[in-house]
Structure 1
């Protein structure tokens, strides 16, 4: 789950320009010395994966993920035992049909409640992980901008969009090292869904409010 979420979050982009992979390979060829000074490459997935901030947040993420797995296993064990007991009663013929039907409805309700509970835990884990990743990606922006200025570059490409790049233009390691100081930790407490939605609505409404 982690790999999918991280890849999806990074693929959403930070506003970095993307070009045709073949063109990227051509521009990064050893003979194109001018291109090497203009283009830089950064592996955003690696920036997130190896960041000090993610490592600091990992115990919390692991705890939430383990809570999901533990709760799911507990519910599965309980529901399987209840279903087996109900099946045995039905086969024995001891319980009346209306009693069996009532117990079956009760079991279905327990299963539905269990599903809701596990879904809430999964959503909480996903929201927390996405929140951590977003903070790391946002925190990488000023670091990358500093490197752009230092090297006089004009374009930064995500490593996933490039077939080949000379190691001299790959700034991933530099970004990770600098972020150990600039962003050693991030919050692992995402805003409540309702608060986050209101914040997004207010942000989207601001440009329109300035137009009169």
Structure 2
């Protein structure tokens, strides 16, 4: 058995940003001009419909200062988690290499015992990585929910200011006259209300009841 191989394969621990965070980053990034000749032809819009408004929640969050802050903070949290898991993985990998080099000098029982112990640690690290992944996802969901709470009354306010009778989500609309889009006003209102808030990684292990607790 190659102990280095089993340890490495058991410890795929690197986390990445979840889908929502990637979507935020994409929404916040400036639009890239389409390469010719794939550019869509210009559209001539009819008159804006009175009292019909359009908004993009994703673009409002992603384009806001607080949305960009959440995305940056999530990247920091993911980097911290990867550093934690990576350090443990490196230790296990190094011990696996050492053990692999001692196959000819250790007796079989000692070799198997150390290999078994190393496998237990590798499995524990894999479980920790899975938990950290859940924690990162929970952290992001909570942060986005906080932004959503700040955003909801602003959308209602702008709905009334613009005297909208109908508000459509932009993702559900194929094409709409930009004059009906209230997203820029929503972003401006959100920027004026909040730019950042402190949050850290959720700790799911702390949320679990103690063993034997009822």
Global fold match (TM > 0.5): yes
Q: Deviations over 1:17-66 (max 9, x none)?
A: xxxxxxxxxxxx84464xx2232221222212122223344554233111
Moved more, 184-193 or 94-103: 184-193
RMSD of aligned alpha carbons: 3.0
Distance 1:154 1:5, change over 3 A: same
1:135-154 alignment to 2 at 5 Å? 135-154=146-165
Match of 1:87 among 81, 100, 123: 100
The answer to whether the aligner puts 1:41 opposite 2:54 as a matched pair is yes
**Unaligned residue ranges in structure 2 (runs of 5+):** 1-15, 25-43, 209-214
Q: Which residue of 1 aligns with 2:129?
A: 118
* 8 A Cα contact 2:136 2:202, kept in partner: no
| 1:184 pairs with 2:184 | no
Distance 2:114 2:17 in 1: 39
Q: Normalised by the size of structure 1, how large is the TM-score?
A: 0.69
CA–CA separation in structure 1 for the residues paired with 2:118 and 2:205: 32
Question: What is the DSSP-based 3-state SS (H/G/I as helix, E as strand, rest coil) of the residue aligned with 1:37?
Answer: coil
Report which structure shows greater RCO (CA 8 Å, sep ≥6): 1
Check whether the contact 1:71–1:118 (CA below 8 A) recurs between aligned residues: no
CA distance, structure 1, for counterparts of residue 205 and residue 116 of structure 2: 33
Name the one with the larger helix percent. Answer: 1
Q: Give me the TM-score of the superposition, normalised by structure 2.
A: 0.68
Secondary structure at 2:130's aligned position in 1?
Answer: helix
How far did 1:157 drift? 2.0
Of 163, 167, 179, the residue aligned with 2:174 is 163
